[in-house]
Chains A and B, each alone.
Chain A
Amino acid sequence: MKILVGYKRVVDYNVRIQVKPDGSGVVTDGVKLSANPFDDIALEEALRLREKGVAEEVIVVGIGPANLTAHLRNGLAMGANRAIHVTTEDAVQPLTAARVFLKLIEKEQPGLVILGKQAIDDDANQTGQMLAALWDRPQATFAGKVEIADGKATVTREVDAGLEVIEADLPAVITTDLRLNEPRFIKLPDIMKAKSKPIDVIEFGSLGVEAHDHLKTTHYAAPAKRSKGVMVKDAAELVAALKQKGLL
């Protein structure tokens, strides 16, 4: 079985995002970029399934600009067998990303597609669900535990009410939650090895997916700031303050 993994590059989660004063976007020049944390988890899960003998091949997929190569090399260094780079200079919205993944699925015929539950830049939380719909296959979102056996995935999902377990026939789409696993660190020799692993470069335009901005972003604003409050000296003062506000 092949596993296709979504491997998006985003602004690192430790970066403090600044909105440009003219409201035209956020500052991305010179900021640190990293793999979407949920995608590292997706890749780790795929690698573990390969190590268990459930899968033979793990393919990382990145849709983005030409300079995505170094990022994809990281995925290869972590252990993916190969990478697919769909090149486009434009930002890719979830519906378009899902359509691209569907094209790659038609070609690669994977048994499983693992994506992050959300990309921490757009925070959309859509691509996996959209892909599953277009592909007409099961989706298991917010996965906290995955077991594959007998042609099906048993997935424990982190839902608001607790932990939900569902069963999905393969092929299927799984999206990862944070507690699924802890991604391994990349080791130096693996970086060397990754240099010889293949990256298929596919031009977005050649896939026959219409690139259309379904949603137009017209303005960016900084969020309303909470003002810093007061420090109280002890428990009694705190209780008095909260009682005065009618909160206790």
Chain B
Amino acid sequence: MSKILVIAEHLGGKLNSSTARAVSAAAAIKGDAIDVLVLSDAPDAIAAEAAKIEGVSRVLTVAKPENAHPLAAVLAPQIAKAADGYSHVFAPSTTFGKDIAPRVAALLGVAQVSDVMSVEAAHTFNRPIYAGNAIITVEADANHTVVATIRTASWSAAASGANTAPVEALTIDVPLPTHTRFVELNQGSSDRPDLQSAAKVVSGGRGVGSKENFDIIYKFADKIGAAVGASRAAVDAGYCPNEMQVGQTGKIIAPELYMAIGISGAIQHLTGIKDAGTIVAINKDGEAPIFEVADFGLVGDLFKIIPELEAALG
């Protein structure tokens, strides 16, 4: 029977919501157990959060100073060791999970299923290829451990609160390499909602025109309590930092409301918002492809429309 190990993603001592989304996918396997593995220098608070997630059987912690930062070369051998006895190892399909999971899979000598959108059976999954323009059904060999990353936008976070899973410390003795070292993380600090889990997202594209002009996007987003995203063109032009990019090579998100402002709607951008609830497009070009997928479209100059929207909101 299936036993699933979910690798917890965390930052700054806090569990990332992508973990609870991976737990949802694990629950879809309908197996015997879902254990969450927390690798950290100080895992206790993170483990306590993970223990509350519904469906989690146990939380396993590996506390080592080397685990202070998520270096794949350091974490993968520990995960591969911890995976012993599990039928599945799941990680969220975030930059964290994408970096680590294939390294774990190779150490186990197995293939990896990337970006699981849905689970058909314990070894059968649906996943996107060609930037989401085709969805394939893949079957993994039932005689081997399944290593998979979970497309977070396809899964809602498993509920948190009622559960009290036991937390157990694991001792994992494997040699850890020193050939890869963490130097620093430059995080854009922001009080705004997190782009990957926000219910509302306002994104700006090249049409916004400059870094200074992007303030109008931030201001409007703040007014409606939304996270802020961007197209690749806006990031490339230096209007905003890379972590705001939405799309095939940026973040794949599924907010209830997505507002694309001054974004043309290239296929690589649309890949990132396919699962959004309601898409709004504001663009001065009535022929822009973004209108093909928008639930509500408004043709006009964003510099005129945004103040009008603010006024209409009161």
Binding site for B on A (CB under 8 A): 11, 13, 16-17, 19, 26, 93-95, 98, 117-118, 120-134, 136-142, 144, 154, 157-169, 172, 177-179, 214-223, 226, 228-236, 238-242, 245, 247-248
B21 neighbours in A (Cβ, 8 Å): none
Q: Report whether B138 and A218 are in contact in the complex, using a CB–CB cutoff of 8 Å.
A: yes
Does B221 count as interface, using CB distance less than 8 angstroms? Answer: no
Does B41 count as interface, using CB distance less than 8 angstroms? Answer: no
Residue of A whose beta carbon sits closest to that of B311: A235
Q: Report whether B95 and A214 are in contact in the complex, using a CB–CB cutoff of 8 Å.
A: no
B105 neighbours in A (Cβ, 8 Å): 95, 126, 130
A214 neighbours in B (Cβ, 8 Å): 110-111, 140-141
Q: Report whether A169 and B179 are in contact in the complex, using a CB–CB cutoff of 8 Å.
A: yes
Q: How far is the CA of A161 from the CA of B11 in the complex (A)?
A: 9
In the assembled complex, the CB of B118 is this many whole angstroms from the nearest CB of chain A, namely 11
Q: Report whether A130 and B106 are in contact in the complex, using a CB–CB cutoff of 8 Å.
A: yes
With A11-B130, A238-B280, A238-B309 already in contact, the answer to whether A166 and B111 are too (CB < 8 A) is no
Which of A124, A142, A157, A229 interacts with B295 by CB under 8 Å? A229
User: Chain B contact residues (Cβ within 8 angstroms of A): what range?
Assistant: 35 or more
Q: Report whether B135 and A223 are in contact in the complex, using a CB–CB cutoff of 8 Å.
A: yes
Which one of A94, A178, A220 has the highest number of Cβ atoms from chain B below 10 Å of its Cβ? A178
Some 17 contacts from A to B, beta carbons below 8 A apart, are: A16-B133, A93-B111, A126-B114, A130-B105, A139-B103, A141-B95, A159-B96, A164-B182, A166-B180, A172-B179, A178-B232, A217-B137, A226-B279, A232-B296, A232-B298, A242-B296, A247-B200
Which of B182, B232, B297 interacts with A232 by CB under 8 Å? B297
Q: How far is the CA of A159 from the CA of B235 in the complex (A)?
A: 14
Task: Mark B209-225 against chain A: 1 for CB-CB distance below 8 A, else 0.
Answer: 00000000000000010
Smallest CB-CB A-B distances: 4 pairs: A214-B111, A235-B308, A229-B295, A129-B102
Q: Report whether A222 and B185 are in contact in the complex, using a CB–CB cutoff of 8 Å.
A: no
Instruction: Find residues 281-307 in chain B having any chain A CB closer than 8 Å to their own CB.
Output: 291-300, 305
With A160-B196, A162-B243 already in contact, the answer to whether A141 and B296 are too (CB < 8 A) is no
Which one of A133, A168, A172, A217 has the highest number of Cβ atoms from chain B below 10 Å of its Cβ? A133
Which of A11, A17, A215 interacts with B111 by CB under 8 Å? A215
Seed contacts A124-B112, A221-B135; 20 additional CB < 8 Å A-B pairs: A17-B131, A120-B131, A121-B130, A138-B73, A138-B179, A138-B180, A141-B99, A165-B182, A166-B183, A218-B124, A218-B137, A220-B136, A221-B134, A221-B137, A222-B133, A230-B295, A235-B312, A238-B309, A239-B312, A242-B278
Instruction: Find residues 89-120 in chain B having any chain A CB closer than 8 Å to their own CB.
Output: 94-96, 98-107, 110-115
Binds A, one of B27-35, B60-68, B157-165, B249-257: B249-257
Q: Report whether B72 and A139 are in contact in the complex, using a CB–CB cutoff of 8 Å.
A: yes
